[in-house]
A and B are shown apart, each in its own frame.
Chain A
Amino acid sequence: MNKKLRQIITSILLVIGLALLVYGQFVKSYTVLSKEGDATSADPETMIVKDVTIHGVDRNAEGELFRTYSTKEGAAPPPDDCPT
C-alpha cells in the first residue's frame, strides 16, 4: 500500500481514537446511579431507574441488588461478573 496513504490513515485513526477517548471520558462520563442503600429502588425487571435505562446491576453474596450502572452515558463497562 502506498506509504502516503498509510500515513493519512494512521493520522485519521489516531485522531478518531483520541476523540472517542476524550468524548467517552469527559462528556459521556461513567456514573454509578445508586449505591448500597438506595439501589433497592431500582426495578431489575424493567431496568429503569429515574428515567435512565441501566445496563447492569451488582448483587452481593445474598443476591441483593446493591449497585446499578447507567447505560445512558455509554462509556462505562458493565458489571464484572463472569457468565458461566
Chain B
Amino acid sequence: MAKESKLHNFALKLIPHRLWVQTAFLLVWLDPLALRMHTACAPVFHCYACPLATFACPVGVIAQFTALHLFPFLAIGLILSLGALLGSIICGWMCPFGLLQDLAAKIPIPRFKIPQWMGYGRYIVLLGTVILIPYIWGSEHSLFICRVCPIGAIEGAGPDIVTAAANGSEIVWPNALKMTITIVVVVAMFVSIRPWCRVLCPLGAIFGFMNRFSLFSMNLKESNCTQCGHCHTLCTYGVEPEKDSNSDNCIRCLECTKCKPGALQSGHIFEKE
C-alpha cells in the first residue's frame, strides 16, 4: 500500500464534515460583522447586491470591468492565485450557492444524470456573458451576466422585492429572462445534482480548468487501483476519478478518496511519486 500523506489523512477526517465547513464559510460571506468589504472579491459566487454580502462577486467584477475595457487586477489576481493553490476545492467546500444545491440534493428523490459534455456550457457562459458580450456591447446588453444571473435574482433582487413589499413601495421585478433562468436552475436543483455548477457556472469553469495545475491535486496510485469502479459510485458528480483524477468537472468533494485504501489520494503537485 502506498504511503498516505498527512494532507490525505486530514482530508479523510474532514470529508464527513463538509457541510459544516460550507456552512462556516457561508457565515464569512454573509457579513455577520456588517463589514461590507465590497472593494475586495470573495473567491465564490455570491452576489454583492445581496444586503448580506461581505465581499464582491469576482464574476460580476470581471464582467463590469470588461464592459469598461479595464483590467480587474484584484479579481483576476485572486482567482488565479487561489485557483493555482486549491483548484475547485473552492466550489466543493466554500461556495454558498454550492451549499444551497448540496442541501437540495439531500432530499431523497430520483435525480437524472447530467452528461459530462454539458460541462462545456460553463466555458460558453464565461466567454459569452462575462467577457465577449460585456466587451463588445457593455453592461446594458440583456445577456450581460448580472442581468441573467440566478444568484443575483435570489440574493439581490429577492431581498429587494421583500423590502419593497414590506415598505409598501413599488416592486421592481427581475427581467423575464433572469426569472426564467432562476426558476429553471432552482427546479433543476431538485431533479439533478449541482446543475448550476456543472452546466453554467463561469467561476466553476475557471476553477475546474485550474484543477490540472493547482498545487492541491488528486493523485491516483495506480498500483493500488483494482479498476473496481467503486469511485464512480462514490462520485455523485459523474466524474470517473480513476481515468482523470484532476478532471475539470470535479468539484473536489474528495468523496472518491474513500475508495479502496490509498488508490486515490489528496496531495500536492510537488509530491514525489
| B-binding residues in A (CB < 8 A) | 1, 3, 6-7, 9-10, 13-14, 16-25, 28, 30, 55-56, 71, 74-78, 80-84
B251 at the interface (CB under 8 A from A): no
Chain B residues whose C-beta falls within 8 Å of the C-beta of A22 in the assembled complex: 77
Contact partner of A17 among B68, B78, B212, CB < 8 A?
B78
Please determine whether B71 and A74 come into contact, CB atoms closer than 8 angstroms.
yes
- Asked if residues B75 and A17 are in contact (CB atoms below 8 Å), the reply is no
Stretch from B4-12, B79-87, B94-102, B257-265 that touches the partner: B79-87
A21 and B78 contacting across the interface, CB-CB below 8 Å: yes
Contact A13 B210, beta carbon cutoff 8 Å: yes
B residues less than 8 Å from A17 (CB atoms):
76-84
| Nearest-Cβ distance from residue A71 to partner chain B, whole angstroms | 6
Given contacts A74-B73, A77-B48, A77-B56, contact A10 B38 (CB under 8 A): no
B202: min CB distance to chain A, Å:
16
Alpha-carbon distance A62/B45, docked complex (angstroms)? 30
Inter-chain CA distance A24–B76, complex, in Å, is: 10
List 17 A–B pairs whose Cβ atoms lie within 8 Å, in order of A's numbering.
Answer: A6-B213, A6-B269, A10-B84, A13-B213, A14-B80, A17-B84, A21-B74, A21-B78, A25-B74, A56-B64, A77-B48, A80-B38, A80-B49, A82-B152, A82-B156, A83-B144, A84-B173
Indicate if the CB atoms of B213 and A10 lie closer than 8 Å: yes
Q: State how many angstroms separate the Cβ of A57 from the closest Cβ of chain B.
A: 13
Interface presence of B160 (CB below 8 A): yes
A50 to chain B, nearest CB (A): 18
The CA of A52 and the CA of B77, in the complex, are separated in Å by 24
B11 to chain A, nearest CB (A): 19
Q: Using CB atoms, name the residue of chain A closest to B85.
A: A14
Q: Which of B47, B56, B72 has the most CB of A within 10 A?
A: B72
5 tightest A-B CB contacts, nearest first: A24-B73, A20-B77, A17-B81, A17-B80, A82-B49
A80/B53 in contact, CB under 8 A: yes
Residues on A with C-beta less than 8 A from B226 are none
Residues in B neighbouring A14, C-beta threshold 8 A: 80-81, 84-85, 215
Take A80-B49, A83-B144, A83-B146 as given contacts and tell me if A13 and B269 are in contact as well, using a CB distance cutoff of 8 Å.
Answer: no
With contacts A80-B49, A81-B49 taken as known, whether A18 is within 8 angstroms of B175 at the C-beta atoms is no
Chain B residues near A82 (CB-CB < 8 A): 47, 49, 146, 152, 156-157, 160
Other 15 A-B pairs with CB < 8 A, given A6-B213, A10-B84: A10-B215, A10-B269, A14-B80, A17-B76, A20-B77, A55-B65, A74-B65, A74-B71, A74-B73, A77-B56, A77-B60, A77-B61, A81-B49, A82-B160, A83-B152
